[in-house]
């Protein structure tokens, strides 16, 4: 890859994945080689027993962090797998029940949306809730959609593209006041490390967290499942993870994940304070120094690390390439060209923004290692890059035409 950028990179893509924290790597290394703990937790011998103890300790620690029982935590291979286990596992367990209705929102991650589309083919009916112009689901909207045969509500805690935060507590109580039997799952992959993940405060029945977004190793995630909630497994075999997810446990990965969760929970308040200041500085400066820009998502009810801006008259993929090559800035875009599909960001479209706005959207996701110097260095090249691209573009839209929302 000799053509990969040689200049100093500025990483604004922490919502895609985070680097693994050195402290996490250090802990994981103790659970790999012959000199450390390497056994199979299922083995009936002292080497296996050491691994089992380590795994149990990690599960208890995760339970403490989520304020639940250790036995309510299922470790899985990713956030996506966790979501699939929640949705498909519940659907399988309720194949013969009268509850065949699922509610989700239009701005969920593809892991939720694609699973729901699959379940529709399997005979479930799915309601995809509209969101407001900030991408937020209102409890009233959810209440209106609840039915006697509703099995599950799955609403993300915070949006991965625009960082908007859903009022999970209020959504859960809207759900439970209609019918206590309706289960509530939340995808907290982006929320972990930034928001309260105490499951009893939130009132959720199921919750998904992914390790690779919180400075932990890749290939690990968890699903919290409240005691008494029945799930059918997706993966059969040796009966690991309470029979809900077979396969030899990824001990070092799980231990690294829980360590990462612990660190991010400890740093939560200070990081939120630091990052929200950087975020607001970033947003206000971009909107001020570059004409024809729009903020996507809520101005305040958003993750402290999320900045999502649309640059009008230019296309996102072209912006990304130029930012990357000229300034080393690594970000991501809601443009159709950076997705595998033909359509631009379903999230920004669901907010009611016109297609033109979605095509020019860029997500800058800050993180633990982001500094103000990096932001200033990026901001110093933005105006030139955008005006250069605008000089190539034949498009000159009127702000009053593109600042509208089409969802009322």
Instruction: Report, as residue numbers or ranges, the catalytic residues.
Output: 337
Pairing of strands 125-129, 10-11: unpaired
How far CA 379 is from CA of 58, 287, 295, 298, 330, in Å, comes to 41, 11, 16, 21, 13
For residues 296 and 310, the answer to whether their CB atoms sit within 8 Å is: yes
How far CA 50 is from CA of 30, 37, 45, 46, 245, in Å, comes to 12, 7, 9, 6, 21
**Total residues interacting with another protein, rule: CB under 8 A:** 29
Closest of 112, 178, 164 to residue 102, by C-alpha: 112
Q: Is residue 1 near another protein by the rule CB under 8 A?
A: yes
Q: Is residue 161 near another protein by the rule CB under 8 A?
A: no
State the sign of the Cα–Cα–Cα–Cα dihedral 121, 122, 124, 126. Answer: negative
Closest of 126, 110, 197 to residue 160, by C-alpha: 110
Q: In the structure encoding, which two tokens stand for residue 56, read together?
A: 């149990």
- Of 57-65, 123-131, 255-263, 354-362, the segment contacting another protein by CB under 8 A is 354-362
Report the residue from 99, 359, 363, 368 that binds another protein according to the rule CB under 8 A. 359
- Residues within window 2-61 making contact with another protein, judged by CB under 8 A: 3
Residue closer to another protein by CB (options 394, 408) is 394
For residues 214 and 192, the answer to whether their CB atoms sit within 8 Å is: yes
- Residues within window 323-342 making contact with another protein, judged by CB under 8 A: 325, 335-338, 340, 342
Q: Is residue 404 near another protein by the rule CB under 8 A?
A: no
The CA distance from 249 to 236, in Å, is 14
Q: Please state the closest distance from residue 123 (CB atom) to another protein, in A.
A: 24
Q: Is residue 349 near another protein by the rule CB under 8 A?
A: no
- Residues within window 371-400 making contact with another protein, judged by CB under 8 A: 391-395, 397
Q: Is residue 313 near another protein by the rule CB under 8 A?
A: yes
- Residues within window 216-275 making contact with another protein, judged by CB under 8 A: none
Residue closer to another protein by CB (options 103, 350) is 350
Largest pairwise CA distance in the chain: 72
Contacts with another protein by CB under 8 A lie at 1, 3, 313-318, 321-322, 325, 335-338, 340, 342-344, 354-356, 359, 391-395, 397
């Amino acid at each position: 890859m000799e053509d990969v950028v040689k200049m100093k990179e500025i990483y604004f893509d922490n919502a895609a994945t985070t680097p693994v924290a050195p402290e996490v790597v250090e802990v994981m290394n103790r659970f790999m080689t012959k000199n450390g703990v390497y056994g199979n937790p299922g083995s009936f011998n002292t080497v296996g027993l050491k691994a089992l103890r380590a795994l149990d300790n990690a599960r208890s620690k995760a339970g403490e962090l989520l304020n639940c029982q250790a036995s309510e935590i299922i470790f899985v291979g990713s956030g996506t797998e966790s979501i699939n286990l929640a949705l498909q596992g519940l659907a399988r367990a309720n194949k013969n029940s009268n509850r065949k209705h699922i509610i989700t929102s239009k701005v969920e991650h593809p892991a939720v949306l694609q699973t729901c589309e699959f379940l529709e083919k399997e005979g479930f009916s799915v309601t995809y809730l509209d969101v407001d112009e900030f991408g937020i689901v209102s409890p009233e909207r959810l209440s209106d959609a609840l039915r006697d045969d509703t099995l599950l509500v799955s609403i993300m805690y915070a949006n991965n593209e625009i960082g908007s935060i859903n009022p999970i507590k209020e959504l859960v109580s809207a759900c439970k006041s209609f019918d206590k039997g309706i289960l509530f799952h939340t995808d907290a992959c982006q929320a972990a490390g930034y928001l309260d993940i105490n499951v009893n405060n939130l009132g959720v029945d199921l919750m998904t967290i992914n390790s690779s977004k919180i400075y932990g190793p890749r290939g690990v995630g968890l699903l919290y499942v409240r005691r008494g909630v029945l799930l059918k497994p997706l993966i059969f075999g040796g009966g690991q993870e309470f029979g809900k997810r077979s396969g030899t446990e990824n001990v070092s990965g799980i231990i690294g994940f829980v360590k990462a969760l612990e660190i991010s929970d400890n740093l939560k308040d200070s990081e939120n304070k630091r990052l929200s200041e950087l975020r607001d500085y970033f947003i206000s400066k971009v909107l001020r120094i570059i004409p024809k820009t729009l903020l996507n998502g809520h101005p305040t009810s958003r993750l402290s690390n999320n900045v999502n801006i649309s640059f009008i008259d230019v296309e996102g993929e072209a912006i990304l390439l130029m930012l990357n090559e000229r300034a080393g800035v690594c970000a991501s875009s809601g443009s159709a060209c950076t997705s595998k599909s033909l359509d631009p960001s379903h999230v920004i479209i669901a907010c009611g923004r016109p297609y033109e706005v979605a095509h020019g959207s860029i997500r800058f996701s800050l993180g633990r290692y982001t500094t103000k110097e990096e932001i200033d260095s990026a901001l110093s090249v933005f105006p030139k890059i955008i005006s250069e691209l605008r000089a190539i573009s034949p498009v000159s839209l009127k702000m009053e035409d593109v600042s509208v929302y089409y969802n009322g």
